Structure 1
Amino acid sequence: MKNLLLAVCTSFLFLACDKVKMDVKTTKSEEWKPVDSATATKAWMDFATPGEMHKMLAKSDGAWSGANTMWMENGGKPMTSTSEVSNKMIFDGRYQVSEHKGNFMGMPFEGMSITGYDNAKKKFVSNWIDNMGTGIMNMEGEWNASSKSIEFKGKMTDPARPGRDCDIREVFTFVDDNTQKLEMYGPDSKTGKEFKTMEIKFTRNK
């Protein structure tokens, strides 16, 4: 029944997209190319079906404790804190929701991310929101099998420079089944050069 419903939905989306008039200028490489309904339906089925990367994410489900280290500027004094994280796969194993709770400079901190693996892009995708901002951070990441890590790259709002974003980078390493490490990099406020802004070592609660 699920497959039938998905096939009907994807066929509808294909027909709907085919009828849309795109009022934009495109280059030759971006020109719309017609796709037959059978090919489109199979592509949507492949796109919607969780795979090995989703199973890998699911192994992180559960409760974790974080040991956090942050730097406000390159070479600055590190600030340490602790946090608690709860991971849970949703939508039949397609995405993982992570809820973070802790403290930052004596203030309560809450954050949430949604991470998935985009079968069409062959990349991990992630976004982040928290109670210390009003923007949404979006990133895409490549899997590195040799280091068992995902390197995410993206943009986030730079509140000190209104109307502008800044480049960010994260390296998330699956050390083992019970240990993970997140390293975040961003621009130094004085020089604009990249430096490590945060490191979190996650340990699975037993």
Structure 2
Amino acid sequence: MNRFICRLAACVAVVLVAGGSFAQDFPKPGKEHQDLAKAVGKWKLTVKEGFNAGQTGTSEFKAVCNGMWVASDFKMDDGSFTGQGLDSYDPTKKKYVSVWVDSMSATPLFFEGDWTEPGKTMVMTAKGPGPDGTPVEYRSVTKHPSEKAMTFELYMKSGGAEVKLMVVEYAKM
């Protein structure tokens, strides 16, 4: 009987301790998340430089997970390319973070970076496979000249030289 009571008391203690930890507040979106949420909406895009230069498409940005993340859905009008991203702010790293997947690779890219010009220019870097599969460094520069315009530039660094891969201009619909 004493063993039963001891086990029951131990179980109750575990439930009470675990219950207390679940009662803590979850993180809430902060200013950094609100800055990212400015992109929320539908955008018309034009590829200005790169592989698909001259082509057009759309991208839709949505706040998800109670505003902790911004999800993007990128589609070329001709269906030749699609991509999806998730963007947030990691308070532990004190960096903006992004995950990007697309129809040209089975390997996700994990970016992190910060505003070089608060609210105007975001620079992020990632490491991943290049077009031939060898590891390369990527750098993205996203400029926000206004609430209705955005420009995305993607660079690849391999063997010491950085090459601009693409420039995409966005106009809010």
TM-score by length of 1: 0.67
Partner of 1:181: 151
CA positional deviation for 1:200: 0.7
Q: Distance in 2 between matches of 1:61 and 1:81?
A: 22
Whole-angstrom CA distance in 1 between matches of 2:89 and 2:31: 9
Pairwise CA RMSD: 2.6
SS at match of 2:29: coil
- Secondary structure of the residue aligned to 1:108 is coil
Q: What is the alpha-carbon distance in structure 1 between the residues aligned to residue 157 and residue 35 of structure 2? A: 31
SS in 1 for 2:106: coil
Decide whether the 8 Å contact of 1:123 with 1:143 is kept in 2: no
Structure 2 counterpart of 1:108: 80
Q: Deviations over 1:40-84 (max 9, x none)?
A: x7xx85xx2211111111121110011113336xxxxx8321110
Structure-1 residue corresponding to 2:164: 196
Structure 1 stretches (4+) deviating beyond 6 angstroms?
none
Q: 8 Å contact 2:50–2:167 — kept in the other structure?
A: no
Q: Which of 52, 55, 69 is matched with 2:31 structurally? A: 52
2:103 maps to what in 1? 131
Judging changes above 3 Å, is the alpha-carbon distance between structure 1 residues 7 and 64 closer, same or farther for their aligned structure 2 residues? farther
Normalising by structure 2, we get a TM-score of 0.79
User: How many residues are treated as equivalent by the alignment?
Assistant: 156
Partner residue of 1:79 out of 28, 53, 66: 53
Bigger strand share: 2
Identity of aligned residues (%): 25
TM superposition shift of 1:129? 0.7
Map of 1:1-206 to 2, 5 A cutoff?
Answer: 8-9=21-22, 48-71=27-50, 79-102=53-76, 108-145=80-117, 148-161=120-133, 164-187=134-157, 193-205=161-173
SS of the residue corresponding to residue 166 of structure 1 reads strand
> Larger Rg: 1 or 2?
2
What SS does the aligned partner of 2:151 have?
strand
Measured after TM superposition, the shift of residue 8 of structure 1 is: 2.2
**In the aligned structure 2, how far is the partner of 1:56 from the partner of 1:147?**
7
Deviation at 1:159, TM superposition (A): 4.5
